[in-house]
Amino acid sequence: MLKTPYYLVDKSKLLQNLEKIAYVREHSGAKSLLALKCFATWSVFDLMSQYMDGTTSSSLYEVKLGYQKFGGETHAYSVAYADDEIDEVIATSDKIIFNTINQLERFDSQSANAIRGLRVNPLVSTSEFIIADPARPYSRLGEWDPARIETALDKISGFMFHNNCENADFDRFDEMLTLIENKFGHLIEKMSWISLGGGIHFTGEGYPLDKFCARLKLFSERFGVQVYLEPGEAAITKSTTLEVTVLDTLYNGKHLAIVDSSIEAHMLDLLIYREDARMSPCEGEHRFQICGKSCLAGDIFGEFNFDKPLVAGDRISIEDAGGYTMVKKNWFNGVKMPSIAVKQLDGSVELVREFGYEDFVGNLS
């Protein structure tokens, strides 16, 4: 039995998402690129690259990772490129997407021979959190004025729209895409490719895949463009758990259990978005608040029901610990970094990475 804490990526569950992604590609013509900002665990890229067309990135390091470890198409995007990284970004990408016309013009000469795109902000989104809303007031994410965008058309061949966020509602997706068509259609028809970004939860249970495929195909044929999707969470949802062990229990008005992990260090999005972790099954009569071992008072995974009282040594499996978690893990409090394990398609579990004291020391200086 592996020593906790560790992230466990289950390839059989990952495969269920990948098969839906491949279905969408086959029936809509849309290509799918893994959004590395969400999930960059390259030890499972061998499987993912069989079902996806490449990667999309948010930084030089992500561009290089996709280029070196995933293959296929490598799309580069950054909110702002620095002078000392632009050449390497161009050298390791198939397309480079600029966030603003200012950046496009600033690096015009270096990128003249590259396939270039521009991020467009349609000023609508599905985000429920202001911190994640790309269309928030005074947003820095993309150009929004059609007249200004038109002045740059001779330098680019595609647009990226990224305005969905955990959007599991096809009708809302359709509504926003229609708005994009109406507002930017006269510009889109002059492009050869369009990325619709990520945040579309089309691999979720019950999502109308055939309607989604038909809508994407209609968009592609209307404007004569190659459509790209950038699934992150949709590619890896429900594939990964965080395996932890109870270290201690106490009672302070509620039954509390302290585990050998931390949301601050290992599932940071729970803290950022004030959300509880997910756990299943969770139907017993004994309710415990699961707490992290860092010194942060609010280091709490949530409250869950168990079929028996928890005691030190009990193992707990926390669900959906893949997206925006492993990429954000950190060394807060010097809490031991979770190892990374992969459950292969034959059911065997392989430990692919452990972290120790030297990694902690090497993280700083």
Tell me the pLDDT tens digit for each residue of 80-117.
999 999 999 999 999 999 999 999 999 999 999 999 99
Identity at 19, one-letter amino acid code: E
Tell me the residue length of the chain. Answer: 365
- pTM (2 d.p.): 0.96
Using CB atoms within 10 Å of the CB of residue 186, give its burial: 0 to 12 exposed, 13 to 18 middle, 19+ buried: exposed
Structure tokens at 183: 């507002």
Q: Note the pLDDT tens digit of each residue in 328-354.
A: 999 999 999 999 999 999 999 999 999
**DSSP-assigned states of every residue in 261-282:** --HHHH-HHHHHTT---B-SS-
Q: Residue 280's pLDDT is what?
A: 83
| Three-state DSSP string of 50-64 | CCCCEEECCCHHHHH
Q: Note the pLDDT tens digit of each residue in 69-87.
A: 999 999 999 999 999 999 9
Chain centre distance of CA 45: 14
192 has a pLDDT exceeding 80: yes
What are the beta bridge partners of residue 8? 241, 341
Identity at 277, one-letter amino acid code: A
Angstrom distance (rounded) from CA 121 to CA 182: 14
